[in-house]
Amino acid sequence: MTPTSRALAAGALLGLATLPALAADTATEAELRELIRLQAEQIRQQAEQLQALNQRLDAMGAPAPAATATTVDPVQAQVDTAIADTRQDDMAILQAQVAQLAAGGGTGGGNTSWRRGGPELRNSDRSFTFHPRGRVLADFSSTSGSRFDDRNITGTNLRQVRLGAEGSMGPLGYKVDAEMSNNTVSISDAYLSWDTRIGGIPTEFYFGNKLKDRAIDSATTLTRVPFMERNAVASVGMPASGYFGLGAQMKMIGRNWHTTFGISGDDVGNSGDNTDSLTYSFRGHVNPLKRPAGFLHLGGWYVHEDYGLDTNRINRTPRIASRFNDNVRVSASAINQVTGERAWGTEVGGTWRNFWAFHEQSETTLRSDDVGDVKQKATSAYAGWLVTGEKPGFSARSGVWGTTRVARPVTEGGIGAWELAARYDKYDFTDAARGGEGDSWTLGVNWYLNNWSRIMLNIVQWTTENRVGAYQGEDTGRSINLRTQVVF
């Protein structure tokens, strides 16, 4: 083998050694693995060719191109170095792939992700996924200062326990959640979805029992809102059929806007011995200003509901202190012979860096054959500051609260994310002959341990002025509430 031939062989091997580095930035994981396999095969073939050449040289009586005890062939040394460097590059690529998967929450060749706190199983192109879901919300509450002793109570409450699953099969998705509370089991989310495009606009269809898209807090799952309970606009503007409805929704999402149209009956827990209420709903929002540092949110919604025969009397009495304390409520006074309602609401607010602020209001008009139309109003204003610098977990895309991405999770040795929040809520039922009113101020501290768990402290200063019931007249008090939650 001439020195020129050996130099060419060494150059070929050195060239092969650089292929992984050139491909690492652009190739997929599968392509990198195939590239490494081909490279190893080429190295093996080159080694066999060198061995065959040595054998031929030995047979011809020529000296073998190998190092002796006292001298080293420089060409052979280059070949050996190229092979060694190639093997080191192979190892470096594999180590980089493992590190990348770990950073993205994946293991097992990318077929399992733990990014959401629980395992998400998926195939290589993610066209099929399966994610077991669950949540546990445990509360402590203590109320004091009321002039009614029955309102000054302390205790614990398992606010929510849910188990379920969600996943996708191409554009077809599904989600099922069963909630266990008050020693009963009920179905919350249970629907199929279909992702497509209409006129080039991403569109989602939902069929089944789903949270209605109405107001910010109403359209957000409880585990994502910044306070332990939804605001006044959510509770006063809630349709008689509830937050969930069994029916169909269509959601269109543009670059700076979204709209949702829905039609539904009662939720999945309907007894089935009467005609359902029928609810038509619309919600939309637009971001007239949207920058990397934040955005402006403007939104509105409208609901029209025709009651079923099993709903002819409405008596809303929303809690304003905590879910645990059933005695601290605002009474709207019962409205008889109701046939339906219409409700509307407005939303304005936005985020800027690690700050957020929103204002909402709503008005519900009950149609009654007994007393005519009766209005019920609510106002909520709230703001927050993520002290540790994270961006607020509000989705400009859908106009609802989402996940707060924790920069330094406690589970990785960090301090988590800390958030301060404040809210004012106003409940106004005075349009009815004996309707009450009330308001509350809430100060909240949220500690996000990681993306799927947090500890919440809410201090609520409340006032009620009811005209009916056991707690009539003006009354004030303070409720201290603490929650631990895990969602996966």
pLDDT of 372 > 50? The answer is yes
The model's pLDDT over 157-207, given as tens digits with 9 standing for 90+, comes to 999 999 999 999 999 999 999 998 777 888 999 999 999 999 999 999 999
Residue 240: pLDDT band by 50, 70, 90 thresholds? confident
CATH class of residue range 143-487: mainly beta
Q: What is the 3-class SS of 405-431, one letter each residue?
A: CCCCCHHHCCCCEEEEEEEEEEEECCC
The model's pLDDT over 408-419, given as tens digits with 9 standing for 90+, comes to 999 999 999 999
Tell me what pLDDT residue 11 has.
44
- The residues, any chain, with a CB within 8 Å of residue 470's CB and separated by 6 or more, are 148, 150, 327
Query: What length is written for the chain?
Result: 488
Where b means 16+ CB within 10 Å and e means fewer, 242-263 reads ebbbbbebebbbeeebbbbebe
Tell me what pLDDT residue 258 has.
98
Q: Is 236 helix (H, G, I), strand (E, B) or coil?
A: helix
What are the CA-CA distances from residue 103 to residues 93, 100, 115, 117, 388 (Å)?
15, 5, 9, 14, 21
Tell me what pLDDT residue 116 has.
80
What's the half-sphere exposure (Cβ side, CA atoms, 13 Å) at 340? Answer: 12
DSSP string, 314-336: E----BSS-SS-TTSB-----EE
pLDDT of 338 > 90? The answer is yes
The model's pLDDT over 55-83, given as tens digits with 9 standing for 90+, comes to 655 555 544 444 444 455 666 666 566 55
